[in-house]
Amino acid sequence: MPGGFVQAQTAAAATPAREPVLLVVGDSLSAEYGIARGSGWVALLDKRLAASGRHWRVVNASVSGDTTSGGRSRLPALLARDKPAVVVIELGGNDALRGLPLDATRENLMAMAQAARAAGARVLIAGMQMPPNYGRKTAEAFAAVFGEVAKAESAALVPFLLAGVADGPNAEALFQSDRIHPTAQAHPRILDNVWPVLQPLLGSATGKGR
């Protein structure tokens, strides 16, 4: 405390309120694959929250290569451990790359959103799109899944996490040599895609009673 001053307090007052938790369950796009630690959009989100005076604890439970099935299996333990007030689900890209059934992706995303809501958390779903070489019909069906799930589960939606990155004029320069993973320079834009959708959830989710 300032000046070393110590004031007697009741036990209740002396115990600081627990910071609400923002849990990110994602894949390599959120796990800082191929870039320096602390330069990914989740780390940048943590810094932005602190700079804006919002006292949240950001837990990045993202795993490179994870699918919606993997996220679904991991989520119950994460919910029990962290008791998040907000859950960001950033999964589905690897389902597409592996050619997994679209119905399974939809079912897994819905199950994750339902589990998070049942645990008292607000949910944000980050949408993804397939590369154009997969075919227009398939790509459109895949991209629509995220909006369908968000609508059905009353979740917030970022329509395309990589908007302005994958479809921008400097797309080639914003991806690593594998043409799949964004460079560190792209992650501020990714955060800018998430931030306006996430902000309303932060204002209404306090974490009390969780």
To the nearest 10 degrees (0 to 180), the angle between helices 136-152 and 102-118 is: 20
28 is catalytic: yes
Least Cα distance to 33 among 68, 65, 58, 61 occurs for 65
* Dihedral in degrees, nearest 10, Cα atoms 91, 93, 97, 101: 60
Answer yes or no: are the C-beta atoms of 194 and 124 closer than 8 Å.
yes
181 is catalytic: yes
List 103, 177, 178, 204, catalytic entry: 178
List 64, 69, 73, 181, catalytic entry: 181
List 27, 28, 46, 66, catalytic entry: 28
For residues 26 and 65, give the distance between their C-alpha atoms in angstroms, rounded to a whole number.
Answer: 9
177 is catalytic: no
What are the residue numbers of the active site?
Answer: 28, 178, 181
